[in-house]
């Protein structure tokens, strides 16, 4: 093959869901692929571990629909290749005050993309869900068939197994500390234990560590802020447990407004339902506060009022910590690093707490960018680094203000 054990077509740095999906895509296309992870595979210190992630097609921003739509197909395809399930079908239910701009945009994007949906008033919502969800009179609900749950740790493991099956080399406990151009040998990727690897191309998918690694590699400071966030599971009261299960047609859901609240039907822990706030507090991913995690009163009130006392709102019975990599506009960063690296280094980060569902399409896109220098069939302008260039510090500052706001609502 003409390669040494340390030379690869593409080196993928970071084995969360994005890196693992990318490695699978690359290996499947016959590329000699190396996937490097700083901790143990499937660790719990990043963004991709846990028991459930929502997949939904209802986005206020029109440009996510294509990524979600492609991902639904790619989830099915990967499942059929591996032979077990990571995606569980459910409907999606979005709700909020009837004048909420982003909720109205959800309706507009459904219409534009011919997604089947229904707008319901408070009486219709009570009827539709047999009293399991209740919204105030001045709210509306948007019901859509395209929801569902993905099992995150299992999905990451699936992509890693598929990458391996297709010939990729997977190494964990290898922390990448530098990436440099090295003449004809391509890119020299160095690890903290002294190991060196060479790749023609490199894809960097390091989640909450992106800002630090990119700064070390090329001096650019991307406004990607790690936040520690808290997933909460609440006990469904005796006699009502079955009503909130995925098998009983309970939907994945999102509640627009301040704070934005999301959740999934009862699936992973019998008798418990996941309801959490989108957001968190700033953290250093190498020096985490490790909780106990914030459970705002507004979340307790939401649980009490929306579920009409059928779920114990006094406190969550399980909380799990996780990291978001937030950009100021909550859009992803998918681009070439540029500068001296040109199109040789591709980065995928800033997934801002909503990327998991699209990881199959993102892996496909990152593989395209590394191999052919462009992504087929998608417009990436919303995800370019250049959008931060006008005033990068200003963006971080603005983001800090937003987090301040969020904290004050907690």
Ligand X SMILES: Cc1cc2nc3c(=O)[nH]c(=O)nc-3n(C[C@H](O)[C@H](O)[C@H](O)COP(=O)(O)OP(=O)(O)OC[C@H]3O[C@@H](n4cnc5c(N)ncnc54)[C@H](O)[C@@H]3O)c2cc1C
Contacting residues toward ligand X, per CB under 6 A: 13-19, 36-39, 46-48, 53-54, 175-176, 205-209, 213, 229, 231, 322-324, 349, 351, 353-357
Of 130 and 409, nearer to ligand X (C-beta) is 409
Of 141 and 349, nearer to ligand X (C-beta) is 349
Of 205 and 395, nearer to ligand X (C-beta) is 205
Name the minimum Å distance from CB 334 to ligand X.
11
With beta carbons less than 8 A apart as the criterion, state whether 201 and 371 touch. Answer: yes
Name the minimum Å distance from CB 283 to ligand X.
11
CA triplet 37, 41, 43: central angle to 5 degrees?
Answer: 105
Q: For residue 129, give Cα distances in angstroms to 88, 126, 132, 141, 233.
A: 19, 6, 5, 11, 21
CA triplet 268, 274, 137: central angle to 5 degrees?
Answer: 140
Name the minimum Å distance from CB 210 to ligand X.
8
> H or E element: which one contains 125?
helix 122-128
Of 16 and 141, nearer to ligand X (C-beta) is 16
Of 240 and 336, nearer to ligand X (C-beta) is 336
Provide the pairing of β-strand 272-277 with 261-264. Answer: antiparallel
With beta carbons less than 8 A apart as the criterion, state whether 252 and 288 touch. Answer: no
State both tokens at 335.
């681009």
Name the minimum Å distance from CB 2 to ligand X.
27
Name the minimum Å distance from CB 124 to ligand X.
26
Residue nearest to ligand X (CB): 16
Of 37 and 70, nearer to ligand X (C-beta) is 37
Name the minimum Å distance from CB 234 to ligand X.
15
With beta carbons less than 8 A apart as the criterion, state whether 67 and 57 touch. Answer: no
Burial of 403 (0-12, 13-18, 19+ CB in 10 A): middle
Secondary structure (DSSP) of 62-117: GGGHHHHHHHHHHHHHHHHHHTS--EE---EEEEEETT-HHHHHHHHHHHHTT--E
Name the minimum Å distance from CB 402 to ligand X.
17
Of 79 and 98, nearer to ligand X (C-beta) is 79
């Amino acid at each position: 093959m003409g390669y040494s054990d340390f030379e690869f077509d593409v080196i993928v740095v970071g084995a969360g869901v994005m890196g693992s999906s990318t490695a699978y895509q690359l290996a499947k296309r016959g590329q000699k692929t190396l996937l490097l992870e700083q901790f143990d595979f499937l660790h719990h210190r990043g963004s991709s571990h846990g028991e459930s992630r929502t997949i939904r097609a209802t986005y206020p921003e029109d440009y996510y629909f294509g990524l979600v739509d492609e991902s639904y197909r790619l989830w099915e395809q990967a499942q059929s290749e591996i032979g077990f399930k990571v995606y569980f079908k459910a409907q999606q239910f979005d709700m909020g005050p009837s004048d909420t701009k982003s909720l109205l945009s959800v309706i507009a994007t459904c219409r534009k993309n011919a997604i089947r949906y229904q707008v319901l008033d408070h009486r219709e919502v009570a009827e539709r869900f047999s009293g399991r969800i209740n919204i105030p009179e001045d709210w509306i609900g948007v019901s859509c068939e395209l929801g569902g749950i993905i099992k995150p740790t299992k999905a990451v493991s699936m992509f890693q197994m598929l990458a391996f099956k297709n010939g990729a080399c997977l190494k964990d406990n290898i922390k990448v500390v530098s990436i440099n151009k090295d003449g004809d040998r391509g890119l020299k990727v160095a690890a903290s234990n002294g190991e060196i690897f060479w790749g023609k191309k490199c894809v960097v998918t390091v989640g909450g560590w992106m800002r630090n690694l990119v700064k070390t590699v090329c001096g650019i400071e991307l406004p990607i802020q790690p936040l520690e966030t808290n997933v909460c599971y609440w006990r469904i009261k005796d006699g009502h447990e079955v009503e909130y299960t995925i098998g009983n047609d309970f939907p994945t859901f999102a509640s627009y407004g301040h704070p934005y609240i999301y959740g999934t039907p009862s699936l992973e822990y019998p008798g418990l339902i996941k309801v959490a706030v989108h957001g968190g507090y700033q953290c250093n991913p190498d020096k985490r506060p490790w909780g106990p995690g914030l459970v705002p009163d507004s979340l307790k009130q939401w649980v009490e009022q929306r579920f009409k006392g059928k779920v114990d709102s006094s406190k969550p019975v399980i909380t799990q910590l996780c990291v978001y990599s937030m950009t100021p506009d909550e859009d992803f960063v998918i681009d070439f690093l540029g500068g001296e690296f040109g199109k040789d280094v591709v980065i995928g980060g800033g997934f801002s707490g909503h990327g998991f569902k699209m990881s199959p399409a993102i892996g496909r896109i990152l593989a395209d960018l590394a191999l052919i220098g462009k992504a087929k069939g998608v417009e990436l302008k919303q995800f370019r680094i250049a959008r931060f260039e006008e005033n990068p510090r200003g963006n971080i500052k603005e983001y800090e203000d937003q987090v301040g706001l969020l904290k004050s609502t907690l």
